[in-house]
Amino acid sequence: MKIVVAVGGNSLIKENHLISSEDQLKQAIATSKPIGSLIEQGHHVVIVHGNGPQVGFLLKMSENSAHEIPLFPLDYCVANTQGSIGYQLQNALHRSLLEKGITKSVVTIVTQVEVSPDDPAFQNPTKPIGSFLSKEVIEEYAKNLHWHYIEDSGRGYRRVVPSPKPLDIVEKEVINTLLENDHIVIAAGGGGIPVVKKEFGYEGIEAVIDKDFASSLLAIEIHADLFVISTAVEYAYIHFNQPQEKALREVKADQMEKYLKEGFFGIGSMEPKIKACIQFVRATNKPALITCPDKISEAIQGKSGTIIVSEQGGKA
């Protein structure tokens, strides 16, 4: 099968004090092991990773050196993390495969994702990024760089940026070609580099694309057989952390939509994952899975995880 697996940026950073490159590589090795098992089983795999913590580090570095070097634009930060995280995952997955006697190549594609400059998100920036700053500092940035900002949880002020809807994966044909030639691909890291179409090519724009929606779109555009979101929990739940908590096993897309409308899934956490899965299922009539990294292989065999299927009930 052709499988797109989306993993969070926090998969590489489990503890706030374990953020060095060495720490992240160790975690990348742990993250890669279940993906290596899928490859061992003969599946063709594309990995999409988050980059929230890592982009935050880059922005903080940039803010701290702003007296000498102009602030990094967001498209630059996403491209930078695609390279660095992709390198870690390539390295880790290559090790994991060699342990299994597999010599396939792993490649990272610096991936652009088209958005519309007319997306309503640009009129209402809501995605917090970067460091917590004092009111005086954030107001100076707002004045000089036209930043939007919010007061965040009593901890200080943070910049907010648009999070537009992804429209197209620019490098989708390259990704498909690599898969067809039996390479393992890491793509659309951090939701992809946000770009808008111009008369001649594309131009980066200050925004952040949701990784789950971008990976769902990629899975649709490359005609994946299965879309997997690897997250912190084995299942999606209704009544999460309540006495009547219930793990969801197999759910049809329409029923999952009802659960969404009833507010069972946390905004900014499980909600976008559910929406991304429904988007894939409805566009392809193929299934989507939500589970934790250690259970991916079992979930594909129907022994774990939440599987979302079309109304026809199609399975991988």
- In tens, the pLDDT along 41-66 reads 999 999 999 988 888 888 888 888 88
Answer yes or no: is 127 within a domain: no
> What is the pLDDT, as a whole number, of residue 61?
87
CB-neighbour burial class of residue 24 (10 A; exposed 0-12, middle 13-18, buried 19+): buried
Please indicate, yes or no, whether residues 102 and 206 belong to a single structural domain of this protein: yes
| Cα distance between the two ends of the chain | 8
Say if residue 6's pLDDT is above 80: yes
- Percent pLDDT > 70 in the chain is 95
Are 292 and 237 spatial neighbours (Cβ–Cβ below 8 Å)? no
Instruction: Tell how far CA 77 is from the center of its chain.
Output: 15
The three-state DSSP-derived secondary structure of 15-73 is CCCCCCHHHHHHHHHHHHHHHHHHHHCCCEEEEEECCHHHHHHHHHHHHHCCCCCCCCC
Please indicate, yes or no, whether residues 208 and 250 belong to a single structural domain of this protein: no
Say if residue 251's pLDDT is above 80: yes
* pLDDT band, very low/low/confident/very high, at 315 (cuts 50, 70, 90): low
Answer yes or no: is 282 within a domain: yes
Answer yes or no: is 10 within a domain: yes
Please indicate, yes or no, whether residues 76 and 219 belong to a single structural domain of this protein: yes
Answer yes or no: is 148 within a domain: no
Answer yes or no: is 137 within a domain: no
Q: How far is CA 156 from CA 55, 88, 131, 135, 153, in A?
A: 19, 32, 9, 7, 7
Instruction: Summarize the confidence of residues 170-188 as an average pLDDT.
Output: 96
Instruction: Tell how far CA 307 is from the center of its chain.
Output: 19
Q: How far is CA 316 from CA 264, 281, 309, in A?
A: 26, 11, 10
> What is the pLDDT, as a whole number, of residue 299?
92
- Domain final position from 224, 248, 267: 224
Please indicate, yes or no, whether residues 184 and 59 belong to a single structural domain of this protein: yes
Instruction: Summarize the confidence of residues 192-209 as an average pLDDT.
Output: 95
Q: What is the pLDDT of residues 256-278, one digit of tens each?
A: 999 999 989 987 789 999 999 99
Q: How many domains, the chain? A: 2
pLDDT: is 145 or 115 the higher one?
A: 115
- Distance (Å, whole) CA 129 – CA 194: 15
pLDDT: is 212 or 33 the higher one?
A: 212
Catalytic residues, by residue number, are: 9-10, 127, 211, 273
Please indicate, yes or no, whether residues 36 and 184 belong to a single structural domain of this protein: yes
Instruction: Summarize the confidence of residues 195-203 as an average pLDDT.
Output: 95
Q: What's this model's pTM, rounded to 2 decimal places?
A: 0.92
Please indicate, yes or no, whether residues 185 and 97 belong to a single structural domain of this protein: yes
Say if residue 188's pLDDT is above 60: yes
Q: What is the pLDDT of residues 286-309, one digit of tens each?
A: 999 999 988 998 999 889 999 999
Please indicate, yes or no, whether residues 174 and 202 belong to a single structural domain of this protein: yes
Are 170 and 195 spatial neighbours (Cβ–Cβ below 8 Å)? yes
pLDDT: is 276 or 69 the higher one?
A: 276
> What is the pLDDT, as a whole number, of residue 124?
92
Q: What is the pLDDT of residues 226-246, one digit of tens each?
A: 999 999 899 999 998 889 999
Please indicate, yes or no, whether residues 109 and 254 belong to a single structural domain of this protein: no
DSSP the chain: -EEEEEE-GGGG-SSTT--SHHHHHHHHHHHHHHHHHHHHTT-EEEEEE--HHHHHHHHHHHHHTTTTSPPPPHHHHHHHHHHHHHHHHHHHHHHHHHHTT----EEE---EEE--TT-GGGGS--EEEEEEE-HHHHHHHHHHH--EEEE-TTS-EEEEE--PPP-EETTHHHHHHHHHTT-EEE-SGGG-EEEEEETTEEEE-S----HHHHHHHHHHHTT-SEEEEE-SSSS-EESTTSTT-EE--EEEHHHHHHHHHTT-S-TTTHHHHHHHHHHHHHHHS--EEEE-GGGHHHHHTTSSSEEEE-TT----
Answer yes or no: is 152 within a domain: no
Please indicate, yes or no, whether residues 83 and 189 belong to a single structural domain of this protein: yes
Domain span holding position 63: 1-116+170-224
Please indicate, yes or no, whether residues 181 and 286 belong to a single structural domain of this protein: no
> What is the pLDDT, as a whole number, of residue 104?
92
Say if residue 181's pLDDT is above 90: yes
Are 139 and 150 spatial neighbours (Cβ–Cβ below 8 Å)? no
Question: What is the sign, positive or negative, of the torsion defined by CA atoms of 27, 294, 192, 54?
Answer: negative
Please indicate, yes or no, whether residues 13 and 48 belong to a single structural domain of this protein: yes
Residue type, 196: V
Ranked by mean pLDDT, the top range of 19-23, 210-214, 269-273 is 210-214
The CATH number covering residue 101 comes to 3.40.1160.10
> What is the pLDDT, as a whole number, of residue 52?
81
> What is the pLDDT, as a whole number, of residue 235?
94
Crossing angle of helices 172-180/211-221, nearest 10°? 60
Answer yes or no: is 132 within a domain: no
Please indicate, yes or no, whether residues 266 and 217 belong to a single structural domain of this protein: no
Answer yes or no: is 147 within a domain: no
> What is the pLDDT, as a whole number, of residue 64?
82
> What is the pLDDT, as a whole number, of residue 266?
80
Instruction: Summarize the confidence of residues 188-197 as an average pLDDT.
Output: 96
